[in-house]
Amino acid sequence: MSVMMVRKKVTRKWEKLPGKNTFCCDGRVMMARQKGIFYLTLILILATCSLFFAFECRYLAVHLSPAIPVFAAVLFLFSMATLLRTSFSDPGVIPRALPDEAAFIEMEIEAANGNVPQGQRPPPRIKNVQINNQIVKLKYCYTCKIFRPPRASHCSICDNCVERFDHHCPWVGNCVGKRNYRYFYLFILSLSLLTIYIFAFNIVYVALNTFQVGFLNTLKESPGTVLEVFICFFTLWSVVGLTGFHTFLVSLNQTTNEDIKGSWTGKNRVQNPYSHGNLVKNCCEVICGPVQPSVLDRRGIMQEQLGHPGQPEHVNSTPQQDPVAAAPLMSNGSNENVQPKEEKPQPNTMEMSVQVPKDANGTKDVEK
């Protein structure tokens, strides 16, 4: 009897996750599929800082203070760390409903709405919850088959519902949500300081060196200065303006999505139920609050059994084991001698038949 070997293939859950995300390092890194602008962000930061450290920092460290390149290095490392943390982390993606869960939600919705006559649009799928004495609507997501939690929204680029969705930022190559918003804010804040720092000391370097060797000779000695000033000048306005806008949102405990939609500043003048009414408390909650663990379990294991090709899965799911092959080849440390069993001769069925004389009716009985 042939023994069929069953081989288990280890599959991580990130390989089966829906949505438009890319994963690296065995699911540890999670990003959006559109990463071209993220690479541009890395090139601009690395190129500008490399030119600054290569040309201006040596002169400024000698003629002004050695602390200038040290502080610039600290700002550069902090900006890169927060950028990578924002880009490579889960922003707070909410798992989609399983088929049984989706069917149960559909039954609840049909039971609540009743029979809708033909030709009429069914009522919107909305649930009302109360948060800090304020009614908040939970909208149903037809893609994820769930009622989205408060402040969550579906990102059309990543095709996922994100908790406390702020916006999708192509410059970091990821969504900005509940789990990485603080790192995004710290990134743009540190990048603003770094841009101002490099721009200001480039001007100082050109001014000091011009008095010694002249303006043209200064540009010849450090040709990267013009490029640095050009990049910093046009980056300064956008990055500093973005930092100021998000500082305003953090002070109100509000998201970019809520500000664009006018959720708390519209015609109804509904008060923001998530604001503590205190600038310090709002900033502490957004920046210093605990980071919730990811609910995706990206690196969880999904086991699949694979048998010989061409055979159905139900055959391979319960393999039969040959009792002869399963017998141990050696005894487990015991000194007992295993005696082979004597094979008894099998009786021949032809020899066991006994002839019986015919009866009165002429029939013949055979006893086996």
Residue 333 is classified by DSSP as S
**DSSP run (H or E) holding 30:** strand 29-32
Q: Which of 3, 180, 6 shows the shortest CA–CA distance to 93? A: 180
Q: For residues 149 and 73, what is the distance between their CA atoms, to the nearest angstrom?
A: 41
Q: Which residue has the tokens 């702020």?
A: 166
Q: What is the gyration radius of the CA atoms in the chain, in angstroms?
A: 36
Q: For residues 90 and 85, what is the distance between their CA atoms, to the nearest angstrom?
A: 9
Q: For residues 100 and 106, what is the distance between their CA atoms, to the nearest angstrom?
A: 10
Give residues with Cβ within 8 angstroms of 284, minimum separation 6: none
Q: For residues 356 and 333, what is the distance between their CA atoms, to the nearest angstrom?
A: 57
| C-beta of residue 225 within 8 angstroms of C-beta of residue 205 | yes
The values of phi and psi at residue 294, to 5°, are -70, 140
Q: Is residue 283 annotated as part of the catalytic site, yes or no? A: no
- What the block records as the tokens of 105 is 């939600």
Instruction: Determine how β-strand 174-176 pairs with β-strand 134-141.
Output: unpaired
Helical ranges in the chain per DSSP H: 36-51, 57-63, 67-88, 99-113, 181-213, 215-221, 224-252, 256-261, 279-288, 313-317, 323-326, 349-352
Select which of 169, 175, 232, 283 is catalytic.
169
Sign of CA dihedral 58, 62, 67, 68: negative
Q: Which residue has the tokens 């649009």?
A: 121
Q: Max Cα separation, the chain?
A: 144
Q: Which residues pair with 303 in a beta bridge?
A: 10
Give the catalytic positions in this structure: 169
